[in-house]
Amino acid sequence: MAKQNIFDNDTFFEGYQALREKEVNANNLFELPTLNALMPDLTGKRILDLGCGSGERCADYLKRGAVSVVGIDISEKMLEVAKRENADPAITYLHMAMEDIASLEGPFDVAISSLALHYVEDFAGVIEKVHDLLSEGGIFLFSQEHPFSTCYTGKGERWTRDENGKKIHLNLADYCIEGKRETTWFVDGVQRYHRTFSTTVNTLAKAGFQILQMEEPYASPEILEKYPEYYDLFHKPDFLFVKAKKTSLY
């Protein structure tokens, strides 16, 4: 199966880095706060970060008490930044695709993935490997693009707007047709993989995970007061979060 490495495209990498450097963005306002709210106690834990990017969160896991972190990423450009800006003797950065994690030495107590799994075609295979690498009772916490976003094929307008350009509602289509989608984000041909809610949950359950919590963050009144453009999250959340536990019940 294909292993996409769009982050090593120079244009994409530069655009993505510029976006993340902005103080106001969806990651800082919604993704990171939600991930932190769902984070288990990391004291004394061994952490696996799937799609670690530039390593900021690997460093944060150590601050939260983790004893070791293995961060993997398919992007050499991202890992160069991680090793330069977020190096620590307790962090091991590996150039590796998520599909190849079976070669890692476990077990890990917590596996975390931030906005990376929607780039993976073999979702079931990765989930099974994560389960195998976790200790009994281990936690798997991940965020991904919301299925209402990943289902978009690029055909037609995504939003219906009023005469002033305000978004009235999402135009939802092809939700039950799973598979690869191509979109333009900094560059053409960025590949993401759409899966329904039921496929996501059932894949986790089949692998032996118990779902503990799911979240779809939207704007608080405080955020809306400052940034009213985020009202559209009431129509369509940007992100889906899942917190699951490896159990002995399966």
Which tokens belong to 91?
Answer: 């962090």
With a cut of 70, say whether residue 225 has pLDDT above it. yes
Residue linked to tokens 């103080």: 23
For residue 145, the surrounding DSSP H or E stretch is: strand 134-145
- Is residue 228 reached through a cis peptide bond, with omega within 30 degrees of 0 on the bond before it? no
Distance CA(93)–CA(83), nearest Å, equals 7
SS3 of residue 77 by DSSP: helix
Letter string b/e over residues 3-24, b meaning 16 or more CB atoms within 10 A of that residue's CB: ebbbbebeebbeebeeeeeeee
The pLDDT of residue 191: 85
For residue 130, the surrounding DSSP H or E stretch is: helix 123-133
Residue linked to tokens 């965020």: 143
Pairing of strands 68-73, 91-95: parallel
- State pLDDT tens for residues 129-141: 999 999 999 999 9
Q: Model-level pTM?
A: 0.91
* Domains of the chain, CATH where assigned: 6-147+194-246 (3.40.50.150)
- State pLDDT tens for residues 144-175: 999 999 999 888 899 999 999 999 999 999 99
With a cut of 70, say whether residue 119 has pLDDT above it. yes
